[in-house]
Structure 1
Amino acid sequence: MNRTPLDLGLLQAFTAVVDCGSFTGAARRLHSTQSTVSQQLRRLEEQVGASLLDRRRRDIRLTAPGERLLGYARRMLALDAEVAEALSQANAGATLRLGVPEDFASGRITGMLAGFMRAHPDMTLEVTSGLSRDLRRLYDRGEFDLVLLKQRRGTGAGVSRWPEPLCWVDSASHPSVDGDPLRLVVFPPNGLYRDEMFETVESLGRRWRIGYSSTSLASIQSAVADGLGISLLPARAVLPGHQVLGPESGFPPIETMELAIHHRPEAGPLLLELAARLARLVHEPEKARRHR
């Protein structure tokens, strides 16, 4: 036998009338009107096919079907509240997994993440930093919910994308730019900027060799500052111990990279909020650079 499931809203109105002893009191409890509560009760009676209140009396008195339904109604409403509480706790205890490039893993991003956690104190946030190639591989394997990646322009991938300004950098105190062969400080094979460095230096007719290689951005930065060679780094990664090499030094600008945020289409509201905060963090420095 097919029948329409009982409406929890109607059951709530029914129990409120019984508990308050009047339609007026039930309307106040439910932040509704007396006529609305009365209509809800009649709709419930139509659903169950029986009168629930003895309307021959001025006070609220249940009929026999009303007495039987009341116990079930309270149990159904209690179970609904229990489900809502369980889901609320599950959401509050959720874990979001974020992957960011190493040069984003400190400084302003930690302040942004701290603000996000203050807004959602029961959440767990797992942040992993590393090379974009590794972050992308882990994201594709489902090990991240949200990633900020560096990628070559024109790929069309990502829910948000921004240009990533790059700088040729040398040591301010022990420059290597005039060395022959020119020493390069690079990330490992398949690392970002590596091919751009090789192609550009060769196009300048310069002999070169790898002077230092590391997977760590901090190590690359230190190697350049200490005079182990020049490198190609994001503008945000330039340190006081570096000097920027521009066209006047024979090094053309490189504009092949971009930053992109990736998350899956089914992302929930908390993940979308975190993505929006991350997007603002990335966008603001770029906006400031354009208006200098």
Structure 2
Amino acid sequence: MLNPVWLSTFATVAASHSFTDAGRQLGLTQSSVSEHIRRLEESVGRRLMTRDTHSLALTADGEAMLVHARVILEAMSHAESQFRSPRLRGRVRLGSSDDLALGPLPSVLAAFRNTHPDVELEITIGMTGQLYQLLDAGAIDLAVGKRRLGDARGTRLFSGRLEWLAKPGTVVDLDSPLPLILVAEPSVTRAVVLDALAMAGARWQMVCTSSSHAGCIAAARGGLGLTVRSHFLAGRGLAAPVNRAALPDLPEVEFIALGAKHLSRPAETLLQLLQDSDLRGEWDGE
């Protein structure tokens, strides 16, 4: 058993290169420091330090133990800090675009819930443009979605290039207007796609409009036309058109987390968790 007291003494000795200095820092006698090191070495059955009257050095096993000691002591410090702090209570009103809600967001919410079980989550799913409106109106505390064109607010979570998706095996008729399946206004994705097509001089026809990305995916699966999503969030049952290379290129969009001006402690805590989480890395697609 690795006693954390022994590990703390060991790490302090390794940093100070002195039993005497380590004892002074820890408020221990030199004999107590020596006893902690001796018992740690006995517990692992390895020599961790070599010393004489003039020098002290870690053995190869001591170097390895120092790595483990630091990890263990840091983990214990985080745990102690969490349980010393008052438990968070209250409610967080979170708005999320449905593509993130169907993709990587649940893992972050699970981590938040496990750590703060007394906080109630109220989740609103909507188009990113609607979430901006709700946030500005004070109806939600936090929003996660795409960055609105021309808006500098929010903390970037990750970027993803939009990709064309359709029913597998689809060959787009390039002599006809592109059959588009897009979410309704206000939608960042819709605005980005239509701007890109206008710049490319491409012709298009809106064959289906949906209030959600899930509806767009369903329509695309049915073979109605083309839809788009970030390649990190590509939908199951869809694929790039066979002649994808001939279609106009689409730009990247930024996924962001955005908080209201005045946040409660629970809302600030969830916002920090979102900002620290690599949502792109935590989810590998449907």
**TM-score tier after normalising by the smaller chain length:** 0.5 to 0.7
Q: 1:195 to 1:104 in 2, by over 3 A?
A: closer
CA separation in 1, counterparts of 2:279 and 2:105?
A: 12
Structure 2: distance between partners of 1:177 and 1:280 = 44
Contact preservation (8 Å) 1:92, 1:123: yes
Match of 1:253 in 2: 250
State yes or no: 1:182 paired with 2:178. yes
Q: How do 1:207-286 and structure 2 match up within 5 A?
A: 207-244=203-240, 248-255=245-252, 257-281=253-277, 283-285=278-280
Aligned residue for 2:219, secondary structure, equals: helix
CA deviations on 1:34-65 (whole Å, 9 max, x unpaired) are xxxxxxxxxxxxxxxxxxxxxxxxxxxxxxxx
Aligned length: 198
| Residue 115 of structure 1, CA deviation | 2.2
Paired-residue identity, %: 24
Structure 2's unaligned 5+ residue stretches are 1-85
Residue type matched to 2:159 in 1?
P
Q: Comparing 202-211 with 215-224, which one deviates more in the overlay?
A: 202-211
Of the candidates 96, 108, 113, which is equivalent to residue 109 of structure 2?
113
Post-superposition shift, 1:248? 2.0
Q: Report 1:18-167 matches (<5 A).
A: 92-152=88-148, 155-160=151-156, 162-167=158-163
Q: In structure 1, how many angstroms separate the alpha carbons of the residues matched to 2:281 and 2:152?
A: 19
Aligned equivalents of 1:198 and 1:92: distance in 2?
44
Q: Distance in 2 between matches of 1:200 and 1:211?
A: 18
Comparing 133-142 with 188-197, greater Cα deviation is found at: 188-197
Distance 1:197 1:112 in 2: 29
1:163-196 deviation per Cα after TM superposition (whole angstroms, max 9, x unaligned) = 2421122221444454613211112233223233
TM-score normalised per structure 2: 0.60
- Structure-2 separation of matches of 1:278 and 1:239: 23
Shift of 1:244: 2.4
Which of 160, 167, 172 lines up with 1:171 in the alignment?
A: 167
CA-CA distance at 1:268 after TM superposition: 4.0
Q: Name the SS of the counterpart of 1:242 in structure 2.
A: coil
Give 1:18's aligned residue.
Answer: none
What SS does the corresponding residue of 2:218 show, helix, strand or coil?
helix
Cα separation, partners in 2 of 1:93 and 1:273, compared to 1, 3 Å: closer
Establish whether residue 193 from structure 1 lines up as the match of residue 205 from structure 2. no
Aligned to 1:275, what secondary structure does the other structure show?
helix
The question of whether the paired residues in 2 share the 8 Å contact of 1:98 and 1:145 is answered with yes
Instruction: Confirm or deny: 8 A CA contact 2:149 2:188 kept in the other structure.
Output: no
Structure number with bigger Rg: 1
Q: CA deviation at 1:286?
A: 6.2
Structure 2: distance between partners of 1:186 and 1:99:
20
Distance 2:276 2:88 in 1: 24
Query: CA distance change for structure 1 residues 287 and 109 in 2, over 3 Å: closer, same or farther?
Result: closer
Deviates more, 1:266-275 or 1:130-139: 266-275
